[in-house]
Amino acid sequence: MFQNQTSSLKFGWIKWGMVFGILLGAFASLPVSFSQEPSSSNGPSSSNGTGTFELRGRVRERGTKKILEGVNVFILPSKLKATTDAEGRFVVPSVPVGKFTVVVNLAGYQKLEQEDEQLAGESEKRELFLEKTSYLVYETTVFGRKDKRDESSKSLSQDQFLNVPGAQGDPIKAVQNLPGVNRPPQGTAGVIIQGSAPQDTAYQIDGHEVPIIFHFGGLSSVVLPEALDRVDYLSAGYGPENGRANGGLVGVWTSKPRTDRFRGFGYVDTFNAGFKMEGALPGPGEGGFVIGARQSYVGAVLKSVLKDQDAFSFTVAPTFSDLVGIFQWKLSEKDEFKISNVISSDSLEFLFSTPQDSDPTVRGDFSNHTDFFRIIPQWTHRFSSELTSRFSLGLGRDFIDFTIGSNSFDLDNTQLTTRGEIDWKVNPSWATQFGFDHLYTRSDVSFNLPNVVSEGGVSNPFASGETRQASVKDVGLRQIGLYWRNEVRPGGAESAFTLLPGVRTEWVTATQEFIALPRFAMKYQVDDSLFVRLGSGLYSQAPEPQQVDDNYGNPDLRSPRSAHLALSAEKDFREGSSRGFVLSGGLFHRWFSDLVEQSTDEVERDGVTVPEYYSNTGDGRSYGAEVLGRVELAPFTGWLSYTLSRSVRSSDGGSEQLFQYDQTHLLTAIAAVDLPRNWRISTRVRYTTGNPYTPITGSVFDADNDVYFPVRGTLYSERLNPFFQLDFRIDKKWVYDTWILWLYLDVQNATNRKNVEQLQYAYDYSESATVSGLPVVPSFGLKAEF
């Protein structure tokens, strides 16, 4: 009856088909990418036979070959001058033959002073390369500014997340340094926003939802970081364009391909290797492409570390791979089309050599595969400077299977998401956006799993749960969101006040609910350097699928709701310069209601008394203050983020208790200093309050299953020790004319502190011991880019 079909097999055809398609597109683009030679107007220069010659050349950035336009090229001692055109080319007529000096002096670059000589005869084209002052610039100036519509969001650009110490170049790990982001337990994958639950955060690629944003255990995000333009983090009070997440949203946006030249890189580090290629596409329009891929071998490292374990042995080491392809065309002056392709694959298999003392059902083979792909076409049409439409699709499939011994879960999910928006600047004081956001999934699912009860973060034994088994096909789920956002300046375009009223509606087929969710924000620009913002709104999030299942859930559940209120301000002390301080901060408060909890009650449904399984009896709050200070005093840069927060939950009207992820203090300090010769040293320090946990006061023996039930004390009444970690990173770049060699050392937990991540118990809970997180983890990387 139950078929544990391996999804990777199904996925393989699609995966390799897409790989082939992307590579085909990439190779098709290569001839054009490489054919960026000068036109005939820039043919070979020649001396004119009168004692002078025409000096032709091109100025580019050293290492990256970036074309430098508008650069003055001086010829000494004849005091001649030329300026580079859009192609970086320059022509200096009538340069006297003989020795001369080329001088180029451009801000941000080292002065070029090159001795040269031209004898009579035909001269060669000169290739000049300007070396940047630093190739390791750590920019914070674009923080939260790029393409920003929602003031509740914070954005990290590629430059930032690639260089943040401790984040290993990963955008999502870099987000975890921001204020309001709780530290997740080590080995878990997710972003916990302002005291909400990990599952209350939605993850998007180019605005379209994806099942995971991290590979296994939070090792790395699922898209090659260098193929991303930025990562957005939306917290309390986010706008109506997004929804279905009571916590917030983390979205990554793929980069726009650069078409000025063909470029790329390849890298190898301790855990994985990858590459990226980028350039222009053939055909009409200004088309470009980015393709990249990664393959991890972290599993091989883990396998060697755990080879002496008697408890289990790896049969397939944990591994992940991902592939990204981005193609963009400017179809006309008014139309742009972009298509992003993302493929991600994770797999892990191992064998328990004997049934475990703590639970005999944990035995035999364990395997987990998570694969998905998304194809995201995006079309932007500008009717006029006031009216723009955007439309995009997210078509993909998710394959997830999971096996422990005789227990298994297999999901084949086809997902189509659509987003559309009309952006209309009605007049200088009013802009409005209408949009829709539709999610459709069709699923085939089979499972044979026990119901695992967890309370207070402590799970009952696997063996003691009621086994649930089903196999169903072609089950659809729809969520349709409509939104209307407004940006109004009541006193005219120059008004210091901006009002942002909006509303979002959701139709959720799983719960048969139509939900209206008003949002309101207000911004007051005190002066050019200071603004204050108020954000508020109602939010909802559909119950998890299994919770509303007709047989093993409660089909009468409602969507959990939340209300957000956030007050924030930002003061830029730099007064127009590139040096100085920026200080931002705010207060947030969230109220959660109708949270879904496990129920032991029985209810009458369709005239039959059945277990309720789940109920909307949970409530909660999270509130706090957060502050972010950034400093840019080149060559020193850094930031300091601090959050003071409290998150509580209550059950069925009972008293409040701490939430599992409550962390009173969250402190992150990051500093970097750029040194001469393209060295940079950076460091990160993190301190967080330890997570609450539920003490276990005893146990009861389950004689049927030969396991022990934990007897819980007061839920979340104790805390793990505070977490402290120091990371540092050293970068060094060697810059050659046409390529750059980059070496880095990223050391996590440099002090080798034994941070307690969880408690481990004896088989009968009579004794406990702490389990520490990762020890010092050095990661070497080598990257060659051109």
Partner 1 sequence: MKYQVRRLVGSWGFLLGGLTSLSACSDMGFPEAWELGTLRVLALQADRPEVNPLVDGSFTITPVVSDLSGEGRALEYEIQFCYDPAVAYGADPDCDNHPDALLGSSAVTRTGVLGGLSDPTYTGAVTEGAVGDFTFTVPATLLSFLDSEENAVELNNGVPFSVVFTVTDPLTGESVTAFRRINATTRSILNSNPTLLGVQDSDGNTITTVAAGGDEVDLEAVLPDDVAESYTAKFRDGSSETLTEAIFISWFSSSGELSGGRSEVNTFVTFTPPDADTVTSGDTPAPFLFVLVRDDRGGSQFVSIPTAP
Residues within window 696-725 making contact with partner 1, judged by CB under 8 A: 700-706, 709, 711
Stretch 141-180 residues interacting with partner 1 (CB under 8 A): none
Read off the tokens for 225: 């970081």
What are the start-end ranges of the H helices in 590-635? none
List 36, 295, 432, 469, residue binding partner 1 (CB under 8 A): 469
Position 600 contacts partner 1 (CB under 8 A) = yes
Stretches 449-457, 486-494, 532-540, 686-694: which one binds partner 1 (CB under 8 A)? 449-457
Position 385 contacts partner 1 (CB under 8 A) = no
Position 6 contacts partner 1 (CB under 8 A) = no
Stretch 216-245 residues interacting with partner 1 (CB under 8 A): 216-218
| 34: three-class secondary structure by DSSP | helix
State which residue, 359 or 785, has the beta carbon closest to partner 1: 359
Read off the tokens for 17: 């088909």
State which residue, 309 or 427, has the beta carbon closest to partner 1: 309
Contact yes or no for 640/672 (Cβ under 8 A): no
| 25: three-class secondary structure by DSSP | helix
DSSP single-letter state for residue 184: P
Residue type present at position 729: R
State which residue, 721 or 738, has the beta carbon closest to partner 1: 721
Minimum distance of partner 1 from residue 554's CB (angstroms): 12
Binding-site size for partner 1 (CB under 8 A) equals 101
Read off the tokens for 141: 């100036």
List 363, 381, 438, 571, residue binding partner 1 (CB under 8 A): 363
Residue type present at position 217: G
Position 188 contacts partner 1 (CB under 8 A) = yes
Give, in order, the Cα–Cα distances in Å from 31 to each of 27, 35, 86. Answer: 8, 6, 21
Stretch 532-571 residues interacting with partner 1 (CB under 8 A): 542, 544-546, 548-552
Contact yes or no for 2/448 (Cβ under 8 A): yes
Stretch 315-354 residues interacting with partner 1 (CB under 8 A): 348, 354
Minimum distance of partner 1 from residue 444's CB (angstroms): 9
State which residue, 258 or 605, has the beta carbon closest to partner 1: 605
State which residue, 54 or 455, has the beta carbon closest to partner 1: 455
DSSP single-letter state for residue 42: G
Report helix, strand and coil shares of the chain as percent, to nearest 5. Answer: 10, 55, 35
Position 510 contacts partner 1 (CB under 8 A) = yes
Stretch 277-306 residues interacting with partner 1 (CB under 8 A): 306
What is the SS3 string spanning 569-580?
Answer: EEEECCCCCCCE
Burial 65-80 (b: 16+ CB within 10 A, else e): bbbbeebebbbeeeeb
Cα within 13 Å of Cα(192), Cβ side: 22
Q: Which residues contact 72 (CB under 8 A, 6 or more apart)?
A: 81, 82, 83, 104, 105, 106
Phi, psi of 708 (to 5 degrees): -110, 135
State which residue, 358 or 536, has the beta carbon closest to partner 1: 358
Contact yes or no for 219/298 (Cβ under 8 A): yes
State which residue, 249 or 521, has the beta carbon closest to partner 1: 249
State which residue, 477 or 480, has the beta carbon closest to partner 1: 477
List 210, 228, 236, 595, residue binding partner 1 (CB under 8 A): 210
Position 513 contacts partner 1 (CB under 8 A) = no
Position 455 contacts partner 1 (CB under 8 A) = yes
State which residue, 112 or 302, has the beta carbon closest to partner 1: 302
Position 607 contacts partner 1 (CB under 8 A) = yes
Position 35 contacts partner 1 (CB under 8 A) = no
